[in-house]
């Protein structure tokens, strides 16, 4: 079973999470898609494969009230896991690269390119999300 866990302020990253989940399911794997408020770091750590999504906030950072504390608690439990990162942004767009460095330092393997999407995901972005989900399922 693969976990897709996200934080979304406007619904854009949530739409991406659903599309990634569809890609995983289409690849024949079981998937659980949850908002960060619906899962604990310990529950997330039980998955061998994770798609983690968070919108870009403030000065190119993860959302501070819910997602950053969740990720900080999860970070030490990522070693050996297969991971993809995704999220919607309104400006900039480098937060995923910074986050990827943290994920790699924690010992996880990022199995597909980060997926930043400017604003609401269009049809092409949804297709990219589904492809990333399939890549994670097959990793």
Total-model pTM: 0.95
Tell me, what's the pLDDT at 86?
96
Number of domains in the chain: 1
| Distance separating alpha carbons of residues 123 and 37, to the nearest angstrom | 27
What share of the chain has pLDDT > 70, as a percent?
97
Which domain range does residue 42 map to? 2-138
pLDDT confidence of 60, banded at 50, 70, 90?
A: low
The pLDDT assigned to 7 comes to 95
Q: According to DSSP H, which parts of the chain are helical? A: 12-26, 41-45, 67-75, 95-105, 123-138
Residue 117 sits in a domain whose CATH number is: 3.40.50.360
3-state helix, strand, coil in the chain (%, to 5): 40, 25, 35
Whether the pLDDT of residue 58 is over 70: the answer is: no
Give the integer Cα–Cα distance in Å for 84 and 78.
12
Is-contact 110 84, C-beta < 8 A?
yes
Which tokens sit at 102?
């943290």
């Amino acid at each position: 079973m693969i976990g897709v866990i996200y934080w979304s302020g406007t619904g854009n990253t949530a739409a991406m999470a659903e599309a990634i989940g569809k890609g995983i399911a289409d690849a024949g794997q079981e998937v659980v898609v949850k908002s960060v408020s619906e899962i604990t770091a310990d529950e997330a750590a039980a998955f061998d494969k994770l798609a983690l999504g968070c919108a870009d906030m403030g000065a190119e950072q993860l959302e501070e009230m819910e997602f950053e504390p969740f990720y900080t608690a999860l970070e030490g439990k990522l070693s050996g896991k297969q991971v993809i990162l995704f999220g919607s942004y309104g400006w900039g767009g480098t937060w995923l690269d910074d986050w990827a460095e943290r994920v790699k330092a924690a010992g996880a393997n990022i199995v597909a390119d980060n997926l930043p999407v400017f604003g609401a995901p269009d049809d092409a972005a949804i297709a990219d999300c589904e492809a990333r989900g399939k890549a994670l399922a097959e990793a």
